[in-house]
Structure 1
């Protein structure tokens, strides 16, 4: 479970402005004291909380923009009382969520309520920046005036600027991040380069870093919004407040957008040239809250994935890219004319996603009619799409109007070393239970459908042969047969998932026992060998001297991160895919062993991996012994080479002296 740190903030007084701060850390409240604005900013930058909660951002006054610019990446400023125009008082919100209140005029009480409400997902995040960043690369100092040496220095600096621009360009392309680049050429190099990157500051962490004070300077500027935006903290809040929709997007120079509701009605079609990410986000937000973002191509473009992440929506990707004939047929069946191909592609993606979900949505409608919750159909459907099962979604909707009781929990005792693995086992067991419940529901639906088919077949048998043939051609019966086939296919898929999860569960338990006996070494797993992943490992589980790392895909890593691993004192590096040459060179030089996972028979389930201790120890010993022999041979070759070079040089020297002696004798004779 990830540890959450929240700071509740409230103004104490003006001139100078002073703030009361209360911290909330995983269920425990702690007063932090009184801070000036400058000290508060420094405190937040040091502690890096997940959320800074305040009842109203207007309390920051003219310092609001400065405060937002100073927040470290990953820290959100949240206005817990709601977005402008729809705000509620702290006391009324606390009462709604079962939180006890005291003196409403006490700043520390206000800060406490803000922190507690934010911990329950209440409030709106204040959005000050677009999901765009400007990266400027230029020379770090003036080359001076005149002179041959100054010209040479200027050319060198412009070459360095060009190399840095190419390096950043390559990193962005490798990470799959979209960008535009403008450059100014000078002296066969570059005087400057300016990137407009379509990603947030957090996505660039570990890819591009600022540089100051040298020959080349790199500055990073997030693009500020003209007006502040407000986004709800929880996806469920957005579902409750706004219409849930399915959005199809066709990215490119001209962006196509289509939206349908959860009943399959088309509610928006739009296309626009050079439409920025922020504008796409705002356009969709005005229509409703997307629970699914769809594309018509496979794999999904990075632009579409980014929009889905921004809304915390499910991403729909077809098994294979739509054919033109398939899209045209779908549009003909809908009986709608689009302005251009971009709108058509977006609509095809959105409607195909709706058709994929249609059987499940119809089943939800039937269940809601029985439960008398038809008015809440859209909200329940959206929660089911987000991952809740139908029973949980219906319960959440029916209980939302009832007052909630504040849950106060004692600090949990420190979990034993095996707690992460046990938690994973419990999670797998819950998922199996959820799939079994859904499996039972599907079986019940199949049984009801089969009874219906049986009744129809008995009724058909009472008619003559001609009437029976006509009934068989009826579209309703054909639709029911297709429905049964779809449900049986879902049932087969659910059985496959249950079998796989069962195998994973057995494997996790087996590895758990092996590790407890001390016959295996646990490996710290990284998806990729990057600075971002390294920071995650250090933050979540720690990286100590003597640890063994298991990296799934080390492609793209360079010398810098390899030197960092050596500095950390890791014992060995195991990878699933080949290690890049620069990383090998650094590890070989530092005598840090590296292996492929297949060499050591690594056993892995999701985020957990182990290797047999004896196998690892033997492999390390063999590799180090091999490297020692290679080093000795290399030193011997180097020594022999030096002797040979000395012999050659000595021979040349003797020959030169002999020639000089001959010349002197000739000179004397003449």
Structure 2
């Protein structure tokens, strides 16, 4: 650590909030003392980002924030690459900084260290390798991608505008995915899709933040935001819930329902529910850390076929098998499976559909092996193996090993354990102890004979009980089958109700839109009836049928793009047959077209869209277009030939008179 950048700090003054804190700060770079200064809290954070030290050393981590709550806020402000070191720790126990300073030969007297000396001492101690490193950030990064704006543009182009934003988000997501794949960086991707592309996306990238430097950049634009956040190490938080230590004797089947909201259910090989949970921020790394504390995962199960990619990745990271059903489980199948399991275990609480789907997947996987697992348990109990760890051997059933070979392995393991515990007896001792052994064996045989008679009588009694219970079981099974059919029907009806409710909400939204359009159309009809507005066709390829070219009067059409319209309609314009209405925002363009190009194109005062082929415009603008058509046609002719209609008529009249003479 001798060539690293190290910052040592000690608190000078605290306060009721972080803005009142003052610190003594020392900056070491290798052997060189670069700076000794007093800084405020804001100054400390700024200095750390400017220096970007490898190590931030202190004798009390809480001095950074004053409290555990504020400490979390401070840690989030630190550069992600920084390593936090509390130097006054030896063998996991706190020691006095004065003692360490004397031990390292940094001070010779026993006078109390002031804050500046303390900051210098902790920096040198950290450089020499004293203390305990605190892992602030995990080797994990969250990358959020979402639109930069709300997508509310107004008018009839809102949907197109929103689709454009989603297309931009989709391009950024694809680009980030390509970069991660190209650099062989492990990640999970969760997206929310809508019409037109991806609405938002979350990458969980399993690598330190520094590795992404130069590969992926944060973006904060008008159209898209890409936010990169390193993940705090949860073991660093004081309020984390400690789970019990991994039970190596317990083997686990994991039901996993990935997505934005994750569902997780854990069964052991005795079909006991070990754990069930769900949540939005439950990524693959969190799940991996949780599961290895609960036991040894051997099977990851999904309710979908084909299985989601995240299920494959979780199974691979755990070194477990992946169970995939022959076909995806229906909602009714999952409801029935979970309901029956809860009836046998009433204390279980499944809160939502994500937990239900995860538990159903685990139960389905267990059901595939249940018959062989039960048969193995029965055989071993029958042979008297009550004190062996059955889960250890049940795992082999999941690996499709033969039951006979598993039972033989149990016997061999049992013999080896017995051999370890037995006392080694010398041959000479065997000869001396033979009579005693024979007596013990005869006594044991006598006891076993009595037990044999007892158990024969007991078997007869139990056979009678079994026959009675078998009869009762047939009756109960018949009743239960009827109830299951009813439950399935209820579940299907509930799903139909949910579907109908969703359809109703869609229809209500459509009704609201239609109602709004009806009101708008009523207002337009009133304007048309009052004569203050007129219907005007839109000039485009789809709507040319509304332009009647056979009529002799002047035609008026509306267009958003007059340049495109003139490519097809310039002949009609120059023959004084057609004029254009433009949007109210095109006032400058209208003036240019009339004055410079002699094109009759007037910016309307009001325009309301009826559909893609018709608009309603104010009558004043309409009349002005009609008036401009012949006027500008005359101007064009005069500009081209130097004569007006009146001049031409006068020449013709003069010619006629000359002919009469």
TM-score when normalising by structure 2: 0.36
TM-score when normalising by structure 1: 0.36
Higher relative contact order (CA 8 A, sep 6+): 1
* Bigger CA radius of gyration: 2
